[in-house]
Structure 1
Amino acid sequence: MPEETLFESEQLMGRDAVADYLRTLADSLEAGSDVTLRAGEQSVTMSPPGEVEFEVKAEREGPTDGNGELSIEVELEWPENATQGGSLSIE
């Protein structure tokens, strides 16, 4: 299935700033609001439905016998034509 990137931003941030960003995202989800992602001149607004597929993944990339790179990936996914309904729950 082809994939189109609508928005992408990668930057070095302190842990507090990342937590604030995630908290703002969480507040928008909890309120049922649209989510706007913005960096410089680029932005996208999305309307997640009440139920989304929630994925959390921890990964390590690099050689098995040396230093690699660790990551935590968080993904919310839903059908493009999804209707509102249900509730999002993260425990």
Structure 2
Amino acid sequence: MPEEVLFETESTQSRTDIARYLRTVADKLESGDAMTLNAGSQSVTLDPPTNPVFEVKAERETSSSGSSELSIEFELEWKEGEEGGDGGDGSLKIE
């Protein structure tokens, strides 16, 4: 399935600023409100369903020179026009 990027931004941020962004997303999810992402001339409003698929991934990418980069990715996924999955088994823990 072809991918269409609706919004993308990447910049170095402090841990405090990142936590503020994530807190805003968490508040929007908890209240059931849509969220609007803005950066420069880009803007998109998304309204996740009650039970989107939640993916958490930790990766290590190693370059051919041997240096490595670590990442944590949080992703919400749902089909357009659908309410979402069954909520899964709830086994994820983040400590």
TM-score bracket, normalised by the shorter chain, equals 0.7 to 0.9
The Cα shift of 1:40 comes to 1.1
What is the number of equivalent residue pairs in this alignment?
90
Q: Name the aligned partner's letter for residue 37 of structure 2.
A: L
Task: Return 5+ residue gaps in structure 2 as ranges.
Answer: none
> TM-score, normalised to structure 2's length?
0.84
Q: Which runs of 4+ in 1 moved over 2 A?
A: 63-67
> Match for 2:15: what amino acid?
R
2:50 paired residue number: 50
Q: Displacement of 1:55 after TM fit?
A: 0.3
Show the counterpart of 2:19.
19
Deviations 1:7-61 (A, max 9, x none): 0000110000000000000000000000111111111001101000000000011
Q: Are 2:52 and 2:83, in contact at CA under 8 Å, matched by a contact in 1?
A: no
So what's the TM-score if we normalise by structure 1? 0.87
RMSD, aligned CA? 2.2
Look up the equivalent residue of 1:39 and give its one-letter code.
Answer: A
- Change in Cα spacing, 1:46 to 1:2, as seen in structure 2 (3 Å) is same
Q: Which residue number in structure 2 is paired with residue 80 of structure 1?
A: 80
